[in-house]
């Protein structure tokens, strides 16, 4: 007869004293399932520390990787289950809440190493350590958050152990009740929650984890696969919070620091000197997940690189998240950073950007996030290593898609040409399991052309158009949208192996400047012609780009440059003169997607027709 009531809740109380690894694994999976089922609501009530609406997505992303790891384990004892859970949580943690939860699980796992079965008193002692470590992980711990609910859970388990309670199921139910009371008190402890009429989202997420575990403990296997119970009706929902993120700390920045021995005190001193906020450090002496809100993510990554290897870099623009969470409209628009879009459009439109990765030797950067345009072109000119770009992992897309789906009916990803990058495929992979609510559109373009199409999509989404309408309009625009460029220096193309080495001295000697086009029907790069390196090059380049254009149509244009603003200004002036009425913003920096291939000195021009206003 099995001795765990978790496996068979029909047994008498005297058999309810402990749980083996298999039972523990199923209970944890049930708890994680409850959090995942409620992540949209958690996003909607997220107002602290900033109302960026992503707590549910962050907890979900953190725990989804844990669940996948647990499902792959068989025959493991209770201690091994917790150790694996903690390790996966630290690797996959996202946001304040995910990092705090990861450190809690790490603290719980340490004293349970080697425990084959899980009894009440060992669990209570381990949860005490987890609660302490979770609090120590936060630079400025606050009551009214997940810490308060974790503390209540810990105290209740300890009290049950001290009172000689032997029934694990009964003790857990009591601790869950204490945790519910602590959650209900969170608005009394934080004014921002009280004003919004909500409980703390991270604390609610931790309670969901406990509730799912308790369902399995009390009711057995069926509860692990059942529907989550509805959240109590007295839990409020945020629907219109003002955007009040500190603009000097707008980037929610995270990474994992790995070394043979990490001195947390020294790391903390280095990070305190950066002047950021919401610092959380979760992990072990060998692996540390760092979370901080900061103005320049590169400063955080650079500071940590002095202590070991920095990987899993991530930075979310919380102002953009808030715009997406609170703007009206059925559709949220996502674009990858291969697109070049004006700063004004990014600041005012509900556009979310997934950064491409930039690799320079052993260094990795997030495009347009942890590497500025000036720094990128300095590397391009001076680095002895080839500057390469690589696609974001599907997880970056999936995390963003899930967050946006909690605030919008549909998501539209407007991606870089499939013919020149695997980034679109990464987005498709992430979208494949999301109930067809995420749509992927291949722009057959890059840089400015992709940016113009993405901007149109975001404008139409903000106006209330649905995904089908926007995609139909993008399809009508795609065939007539193109990106043109002339390349001043073929060094990058030669170093990257895209053209033979002998081409470089010949073009320099003859003063030849290759002209290229991306777009039209196949989304590939095509040679448009050869120009001569003379003062008239910008004007002649525009003449070539406008050859055969329908001048009765209204056009949108963009002029970008790869560290060559003077010639870009001349290209823009020529465009405005030769195509009167064109809508063209001031010139701006081209991103790495074009810069890594075209090299420093290149100038880029993109054109797209303007559709007439849609009838209301």
Q: Do 59 and 193 belong together in one domain?
A: yes
Decide if pLDDT at 6 tops 80.
no
Question: What does the block give as tokens for 580?
Answer: 């009167």
Q: How would you label 179-202 residue by residue, b for 16+ Cβ within 10 Å and e otherwise?
A: bbebbbbbbebbebbeebebbbbb
Query: Contact at 8 Å (CB) between 578 and 543?
Result: yes
pLDDT of residue 492: 54
- Taking residue 243's Cβ as centre, other Cβ atoms within 10 Å add up to 15
Q: Do 36 and 147 belong together in one domain?
A: yes
> Strand 387-390 relative to strand 357-360: parallel, antiparallel, unpaired?
antiparallel
How far is Cα 19 from Cα 612, in angstroms, rounded to an integer?
A: 67
Q: Do 31 and 102 belong together in one domain?
A: yes
How far is Cα 140 from Cα 137, in angstroms, rounded to an integer?
A: 9
How far is Cα 195 from Cα 193, in angstroms, rounded to an integer?
A: 5
Looking at 258, 288, 317, which one is the last position of a domain? 317
Q: Do 294 and 218 belong together in one domain?
A: no
**pLDDT category of residue 613 using cuts at 50, 70 and 90:** low
Write down the pTM of the prediction.
Answer: 0.78
Q: Which residue has the higher pLDDT, 233 or 564?
A: 564
Tokens 């990070």 map to which residue? 271
Q: Is the dihedral of CA 254, 260, 263, 269 positive or negative?
A: negative
Q: Which residue has the higher pLDDT, 433 or 331?
A: 331
DSSP 164: T
Q: Do 195 and 297 belong together in one domain?
A: no
> Strand 331-336 relative to strand 351-354: parallel, antiparallel, unpaired?
parallel
- Distance set, CA 188 to CA 47, 65, 106, 148, 191 (Å): 15, 34, 29, 12, 7
Give the CATH number, domain containing residue 302: 3.30.2130.10
**Number of structural domains the chain divides into:** 3
Decide if pLDDT at 460 tops 60.
yes
**If you average pLDDT over residues 492-512, what whole number do you get?**
48
In this predicted model, what pLDDT tens digit does every residue of 252-268 receive, in sequence order? 999 999 999 999 999 99
**pLDDT category of residue 2 using cuts at 50, 70 and 90:** very low
Q: Which helix (H) or strand (E) holds 559?
A: strand 555-561
**pLDDT category of residue 410 using cuts at 50, 70 and 90:** very high
3-state class (DSSP) for residue 605: strand
Chain mean pLDDT for the chain: 85
Looking at 299, 317, 335, which one is the last position of a domain? 317
pLDDT of residue 520: 62
Give the CATH number, domain containing residue 63: 1.25.40.340
Q: Is the dihedral of CA 174, 61, 103, 125 positive or negative?
A: positive
Q: Do 182 and 284 belong together in one domain?
A: no
pLDDT of residue 353: 94
Dihedral pair phi/psi, residue 240, rounded to 5°: -155, 40
pLDDT of residue 247: 63
Tell me the DSSP string of 351-395: EEEEPPEEEETTEEEEBTTTB-HHHHHHHHHH-SSPEEEEPPPHH
Query: Contact at 8 Å (CB) between 412 and 467?
Result: yes
How far is Cα 211 from Cα 202, in angstroms, rounded to an integer?
A: 14
pLDDT of residue 92: 86
Q: Is the dihedral of CA 104, 109, 112, 115 positive or negative?
A: positive
Q: Which residue has the higher pLDDT, 18 or 136?
A: 136
In a domain, 230, yes or no: no
How far is Cα 353 from Cα 317, in angstroms, rounded to an integer?
A: 9
* Radius of gyration for the alpha carbons in the chain, expressed in angstroms and rounded: 27
Q: Do 288 and 209 belong together in one domain?
A: no
**pLDDT category of residue 490 using cuts at 50, 70 and 90:** low
Q: Do 171 and 266 belong together in one domain?
A: no
DSSP 416: P
Give me the residues paired with residue 442 across strands.
415
In a domain, 410, yes or no: no
- Taking residue 59's Cβ as centre, other Cβ atoms within 10 Å add up to 32
> Strand 287-294 relative to strand 277-283: parallel, antiparallel, unpaired?
antiparallel
Tell me the percentage of the chain whose pLDDT exceeds 90.
55
Tell me the percentage of the chain whose pLDDT exceeds 70.
86
Query: Contact at 8 Å (CB) between 345 and 322?
Result: no
Decide if pLDDT at 218 tops 70.
yes
Q: How would you label 460-469 residue by residue, b for 16+ Cβ within 10 Å and e otherwise?
A: bbbeebebeb
In this predicted model, what pLDDT tens digit does every residue of 595-607 receive, in sequence order? 887 788 889 999 9
Decide if pLDDT at 279 tops 80.
yes
Query: Contact at 8 Å (CB) between 387 and 364?
Result: no
Q: Do 87 and 204 belong together in one domain?
A: yes
Q: How would you label 322-347 residue by residue, b for 16+ Cβ within 10 Å and e otherwise?
A: bbbbbeebebbbbbbbbbbbbeebbe
Q: Which residue has the higher pLDDT, 342 or 528?
A: 342
Q: Do 213 and 255 belong together in one domain?
A: no
In a domain, 5, yes or no: no
Tell me the DSSP string of 229-283: PPPPTTS---S-------GGG-EEEEEEEE-SS--HHHHHHHHHTTT-EEEEEEE
Tell me the DSSP string of 307-328: TSEEEEEEEEEHHHHHHHHHS-
Decide if pLDDT at 16 tops 90.
no
Decide if pLDDT at 539 tops 90.
yes
Q: Which residue has the higher pLDDT, 237 or 286?
A: 286
In a domain, 383, yes or no: no
**If you average pLDDT over residues 271-287, what whole number do you get?**
93
Q: Do 27 and 173 belong together in one domain?
A: yes
In a domain, 508, yes or no: yes
Domain housing 69: 13-225
In a domain, 343, yes or no: no
Q: Do 17 and 156 belong together in one domain?
A: yes
In this predicted model, what pLDDT tens digit does every residue of 292-351 receive, in sequence order? 999 999 999 999 999 999 988 999 888 888 777 777 679 999 999 999 999 999 988 889
pLDDT of residue 399: 87
How far is Cα 561 from Cα 587, in angstroms, rounded to an integer?
A: 7
Helices (H), 406-446: 423-431
**If you average pLDDT over residues 364-374, what whole number do you get?**
84
Decide if pLDDT at 508 tops 70.
no
């Amino acid at each position: 007869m099995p001795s765990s009531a978790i496996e068979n809740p029909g047994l008498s109380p005297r058999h309810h004293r402990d749980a083996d690894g298999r039972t523990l694994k199923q209970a944890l999976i049930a708890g994680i399932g409850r959090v995942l089922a409620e992540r949209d609501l958690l996003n909607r009530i997220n107002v602290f520390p900033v109302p960026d609406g992503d707590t549910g997505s962050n907890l979900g992303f953190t725990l989804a990787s844990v669940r996948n790891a647990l499902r792959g384990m068989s025959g493991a004892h209770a201690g091994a289950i917790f150790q694996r859970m903690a390790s996966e949580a630290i690797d996959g943690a996202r946001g304040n809440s995910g990092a705090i939860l990861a450190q809690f699980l790490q603290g719980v796992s340490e004293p349970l190493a080697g425990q084959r079965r899980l009894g009440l008193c060992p669990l209570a002692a381990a949860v005490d350590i987890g609660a302490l470590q979770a609090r120590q992980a936060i630079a400025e711990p606050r009551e009214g958050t997940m810490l308060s609910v974790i503390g209540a859970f810990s105290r209740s388990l300890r009290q049950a152990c001290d009172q000689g309670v032997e029934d694990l199921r009964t003790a857990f139910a009591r601790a869950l009740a204490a945790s519910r009371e602590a959650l209900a008190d969170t608005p009394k402890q934080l004014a921002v929650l009280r004003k919004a009429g909500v409980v703390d989202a991270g604390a609610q997420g931790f309670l969901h984890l406990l509730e799912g575990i308790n369902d399995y403990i009390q009711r057995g296997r069926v509860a692990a696969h059942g529907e989550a119970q509805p959240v109590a009706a007295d839990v409020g929902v945020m629907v219109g919070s003002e955007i009040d993120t500190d603009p000097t700390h707008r980037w929610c920045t995270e990474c994992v620091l790995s070394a043979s021995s990490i001195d947390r005190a020294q790391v903390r001193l280095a990070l305190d000197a950066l002047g950021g906020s919401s610092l959380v450090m979760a992990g072990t002496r060998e692996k540390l997940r760092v979370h901080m809100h900061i103005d320049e993510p590169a400063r955080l990554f650079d500071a940590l690189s002095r202590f070991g290897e920095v990987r899993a870099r991530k930075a979310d623009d919380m102002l953009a998240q808030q715009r997406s969470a609170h703007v009206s409209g059925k559709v949220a628009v996502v674009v990858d950073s291969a697109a070049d879009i004006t700063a004004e459009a990014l600041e005012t439109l509900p556009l979310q950007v997934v950064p491409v990765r930039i690799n320079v030797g052993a260094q990795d950067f997030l495009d347009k996030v942890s590497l500025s345009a000036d720094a990128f072109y300095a590397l391009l000119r001076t680095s002895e290593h080839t500057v390469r770009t690589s696609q974001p992992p599907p997880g970056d897309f999936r995390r963003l898609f899930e967050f946006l789906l909690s605030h919008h009916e549909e998501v539209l990803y407007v991606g870089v040409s499939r013919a020149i990058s695997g980034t679109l495929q990464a987005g498709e992979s992430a979208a494949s399991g999301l109930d067809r609510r995420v749509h992927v559109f291949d722009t057959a373009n890059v840089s400015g052309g992709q940016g113009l199409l993405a901007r149109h999509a975001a404008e139409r989404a903000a106006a209330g158009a649905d995904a089908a309408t926007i995609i139909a309009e993008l399809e009508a625009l795609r065939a007539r949208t193109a990106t043109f460029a002339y390349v001043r220096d073929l060094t990058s193309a030669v170093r990257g192996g895209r053209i033979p080495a002998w081409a470089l001295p010949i073009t320099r000697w003859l003063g030849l400047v290759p002209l290229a086009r991306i777009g039209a029907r196949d989304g590939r790069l095509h040679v448009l012609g050869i120009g001569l390196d003379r003062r008239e090059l910008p004007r002649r380049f525009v003449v070539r780009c406008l050859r055969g254009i329908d001048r009765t149509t209204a056009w949108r244009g963009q002029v970008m440059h790869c560290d060559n603003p003077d010639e870009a200004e001349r290209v823009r002036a020529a465009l405005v003169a030769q195509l009167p009425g064109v809508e063209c913003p001031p010139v701006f920096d081209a991103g790495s997607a074009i810069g890594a291939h075209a090299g420093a000195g290149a100038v880029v021009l993109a054109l797209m027709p303007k559709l007439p206003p849609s009838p209301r």
